[in-house]
Structure 1
């Protein structure tokens, strides 16, 4: 692999890896799986749908963390002939899987709660309170762990938000258990379930658009396309630019490709200009991979630099 791919080979290490280790992620997965099992048993014994709802949410957290851990390992692989930009996009794929699963679970819980309204069931309040109390402690511990990597990863941010909402849900389940003990208000269990489901759905919907944009190669949110074009066209030696493409390589690396109409036809000058432009783009727009093709006219019929052969057959002729 050539030097232009170096930026992708370290994608798994450059953002938040020192703050959140694989061992911490695996520990977070393990305690959430154990918590899920405890909550399901507690929910079945007590008859609490809210407790089972919280268990499903915790299971989604464990799955999300497991997928994120696997995606980080894949994302560390260097670029090769199959994935010439590297494997950093794997984390974005993992985020899409996690968010889609989260939405499915949220809608499932909502439907179950609506069905329970039609046929209310008795709920054992003390079991609900004890299990939810243990869940609250574990949720807070997991949220603390995932917070270390939430700033730099959409996967970790999703996991962190899940655990914060789990903690809130556990508080809600405890409140529901108290209302059942004090007033036999069994409907409180269903109301809390609806609130948990609504919050789960809101989380998934709020993060899904950005994830889809990343997978579709959209211009990164932080960048303004017109600003980049104007910046390039204001550089000395450039008359205009067109066929401008800006996209993300994974979540943290950005790339640009454009055709450049030069005010000068000197190839030596253009080579120096490319070095300067790459440095400026990295500094101002965090674009770490930039490719330029020089042209004499906007239609690029007469390129100043050789084009790659269109097919292997052309190359062999």
Structure 2
């Protein structure tokens, strides 16, 4: 059967990643946390002194960055624990849960910024534009450093990707605050400050909408992204002496670990080849789709399930 590159799972044989040493990755995240907490304090003080809601909004978002990185840090460490009697599949989904928590906090933060922005439109306050610009410029530099620390790891983990997007959104928020402060200095347009706050909130919600689906898919035992169930079933049935596949389950144990459970009906007269058939199917699934965790139940044609369902089962 022709090779189908589109059917590979992310992180499977068709993809290679240069994985960072776990301890070195933890150190990067820890540094990013420290930098973000220091920046948050400076922005809050500057926002109060200057009267800028946009700067305080950026500070709150930056604080959420620090919290997201703390969550990501501990999730990384928990995920590396080996399987035990209580968690036989291991702790790998800790990072997926952390990603969901981080995206949820982003939604709450964005909604709060929408509320504060609307209130500031209704009750404008004087703003020190120069203080806003200087502090936001420092924040931008720190945000870019933090994003650089987590960028390479974000390609390998939805947990770190959620934290990275926190920082990326915050960097863009800092740019928006600089623009707002400049317009206040040049034209006295104080309405720009709450307008920028609403833009930051909208950008956060847009990013969450784009990313949270993959997290929910893993937690809901959905089909791994980029993998088609019928393509996998057809590839199994193309193995010699496999007549039928049913009760097929395809899901992700964690972000980069697809798994499969299926019943295979073996051709009449081929039962003595059961070990060879199972080995061929397992080898094909790993080589072509990156599926290393497989549970296969073999059935002879005479005793196969009555009215089997192709996907899943009741």
TM-score interval, normalised by the smaller of the two chains: 0.7 to 0.9
Q: Paired residues, what number?
A: 289
Counterparts of 1:70-219 in structure 2, within 5 Å, are 70-219=74-223
| 3-state DSSP of counterpart to 1:33 | helix
What secondary structure, in the 3-state scheme, does the structure 1 residue paired with 2:292 have? strand
Q: Deviation at 1:223?
A: 0.3
Which residue in 2 is equivalent to 1:36?
A: 40
Gapped runs of 5+ residues in structure 2? 1-16, 307-314
- C-alpha deviations, 1:166-206, integer Å up to 9, x for none? 11111111111111112111011111101111111111121
CA shift digits 1:2-51 (9 cap, x unpaired):
xxxxxxxxxxxx97333861111100011011111111111111111100
List per-residue Cα deviations over 1:71-92 (Å, max 9, x = no partner).
1111111111211111111110
TM-score by length of 2: 0.88
TM-score (norm 1): 0.87
Residues 92 and 211 of structure 1 are in contact (CA less than 8 Å); yes or no, is this contact kept in structure 2?
yes
Matched residue SS, 1:213: helix
Query: In the superposition, relative to structure 1, how do residues 204 and 299 fare at CA in structure 2: closer, same or farther (>3 Å)?
Result: farther
Q: How far apart are 1:266 and its partner, in Å?
A: 4.9
Moved more, 151-160 or 277-286: 151-160
The whole-number CA distance in structure 1 between the counterparts of 2:97 and 2:269 is 43
Decide whether aligned partners of structure 1 residues 194 and 272 sit closer, same or farther in structure 2, where only a CA change above 3 A counts. same
Q: For 1:214-225, what aligned pairs fall within 5 Å after superposition?
A: 214-225=218-229
Query: Which of these residues, 64, 68, 71, is aligned with residue 72 of structure 2?
Result: 68
Q: Give a deviation string over 1:69-115, Cα, whole Å, max 9, x none.
A: 11111111111121111111111000000000000000110111011
Matched, 1:18 2:21: yes
Q: Which residue of 1 aligns with 2:9?
A: none
Distance between the aligned counterparts of 1:17 and 1:71, measured in 2? 16
Q: Report the CA distance shift for 1:82/1:267 in structure 2 as closer, same or farther (over 3 A).
A: farther
Q: How far has the Cα of 1:162 moved from its partner?
A: 2.2
Cα pair 1:103 1:205 within 8 Å, conserved: no
User: How far apart, in 2, do the equivalents of 1:203 and 1:102 lie?
Assistant: 9
Give CA-to-partner distance per residue, 1:249-287, whole Å, 9 cap, x none.
Answer: 111111100011100455541112212211111111111
Q: 1:29–1:62: 8 Å Cα contact kept in structure 2?
A: yes
* Structure 1 residue ranges, 4+ long, deviating more than 3 angstroms after superposition: 14-17, 264-268, 297-302
Q: Which residue of 2 aligns with 1:3?
A: none
| Residues 261, 298 of structure 1: 8 Å contact kept | no
Match of 2:3 in 1: none
Where relative contact order (Cα < 8 A, 6+ residues apart) is larger, the structure is 2
